[in-house]
Amino acid sequence: MNSQDIQLLATALASVLGLVALIVSRPRLHPLLALLLVSVATGLLTGMPLDKLVHAISGGAGKTLGAVGLVVALGAMLGKILADSGVTDSLASAILERASRKLLPWAMTGVAFIVGIPMFFEVGLVVLLPLIFGVARKLEAEQRGGGSAYVYIGVPVIAALAAMHGMVPPHPGPLTAIATLKTSVGATMLYGFIAAIPAIVLAGPVYGSFIARRLTVRPDDALIAQYAPELKGADGDAAAQGSRPAPPGIGVGVLAALAPALLMLLHAVGEMLLPKSSPLLHFAAFVGHPIIAMLLGVIFAVLVLRPGRPEAVRRALSDSIKPVANVLLIIAGGGAFQQVLTDARVGDAIVHLSHQLPVSPLLLGWLISMLLSVSTGSATVGIVGAAGLLAPLAASGTAVNQPLLALAIGCGSLFFNYANHAGFWLVKESFGMSMGEATKTISVVQSIVALVGLAMVMLMNLLPPLV
């Protein structure tokens, strides 16, 4: 390491601390303004040319909105359709009827585990928000237990989605590590499932039950009303419910809710079974892309669930975007901050630091991925950087379990998802959390997943290879 590396690392740390200070203390800036101001300051302090700094801010915001924003918007539309047609209420009632309060987090964990197999973290959360809000709202209305019902139900979902996203192919992070290290998809997937289960249990139902009693988190009323309109409580609302057609069958409702997940799963299966030149694989990749899958899911839900007359549906879909507009803009600001850190080459300083850490390849892969992810705000940067750095070691014939190395790198990328990650802002704003509450939930949850994943990697490394 040289003095420039130290300066970059110090600037990155100071930028995160400054961002938190602007949001939680005076002048208590809106997160979007704070993110943009810190992005500019970070670029100037690291010596970025002004034109490159502007390009990084606009490009980072646009790239994040393109990847996450459209999915969030389409997910809000799908959630509105599910709520207006009565599907969300039916699913929530079915889960509540079949599970005691203590079993509810485990039931939601199972749902998120299945949905998380093909879906990115942000996409899966958007798809499951209506169900989370529906179950939590009913739990809240029945006054079953203290603390935050939304944290109690939401944390297990966050844990399951995060673990699957970072540990199990066909998610892009694990696949990138597998391709770079030239190792086996099947072995990495098997190891990933084994490591994910204890990580999800400890970070989800166990930690969720602990932290929910200590928080009073409640989402914005507009979002709650959008996803659970039948629970507003006014007499007029009850009358409106009486005039609404009976909700569709539970099977049709589940199919409509999971249609995007099924399309993405089709793509995942196709990647494992079909040759790369197959036209069917190209078609599966198209319909399984998150944006296309969500778009088709919305259209399918409108046609099958028939939530109302065309004019009413159009108004409902327009209204569904309003509560998430703030979330979208803050996510864009997080993308800008992430891109500035990346273009300032903070990641290079982390790589230079890693060269001075004489540890095992598995732990080294986890550490490099973790440091890159935390500093740049991108799990993908963490995985790409760590896998690229360790690829020569893996190819040199050194005794290292390569599928476990790919898994260790994926686990490291999950550690301490914070203010420069788009997922942090999605959780924070969707659940109406303060910075401290979001840190105690998504940041701690993902850190538990990452640490338990590392422990499982080290444990499995003591056993004979699976393949």
In DSSP notation, 276-306 reads TT-HHHHHHHHHTSHHHHHHHHHHHHHHHH-
The string of pLDDT tens digits covering residues 226-277 is 776 554 443 334 334 444 566 677 788 888 888 887 887 788 788 778 888 8
Q: What percent of the chain has pLDDT over 90?
A: 35
241 φ/ψ angles, rounded to the nearest 5 degrees: -65, -35
Determine, yes or no, domain membership for 240: no
pLDDT higher than threshold 90 for residue 198: yes
- Give the Å distances, CA to CA, from 365 to 187, 202, 226, 394: 18, 23, 43, 11
Determine, yes or no, domain membership for 109: yes
The string of pLDDT tens digits covering residues 9-48 is 899 888 888 887 888 787 788 888 988 999 999 999 999 9
pLDDT higher than threshold 50 for residue 107: yes
Query: How many CA atoms lie within 13 Å of 270's alpha carbon, on the beta-carbon side?
Result: 20
Average pLDDT of the chain, as a whole number: 85
Angle at 278 between CA 277 and CA 284, to 5 degrees: 120
Determine, yes or no, domain membership for 339: yes
pLDDT band of 397, cuts 50, 70, 90: low
- The rounded distance, in Å, linking the Cα atoms of 334 and 23 is 13
Determine, yes or no, domain membership for 319: yes
SS3 helix, strand, coil % of the chain, rounded to 5? 80, 0, 20
The two structure tokens encoding residue 236: 């007029």
Determine, yes or no, domain membership for 350: yes
Determine, yes or no, domain membership for 242: no
Determine, yes or no, domain membership for 32: yes
Domains held by the chain: number: 1
Contact criterion met (CB below 8 Å) for 226 and 320: yes
| DSSP H or E segment with residue 415 | none
Strongest mean pLDDT among 103-107, 115-119, 224-228: 103-107
pLDDT higher than threshold 80 for residue 319: yes
Name which of 337, 248, 291 is nearest 66 in CA terms.
291
Q: What percent of the chain has pLDDT over 70?
A: 93
Domain that holds residue 362: 5-231+249-462
DSSP label at residue 233: -
What single letter denotes the amino acid at residue 167? M
Determine, yes or no, domain membership for 244: no
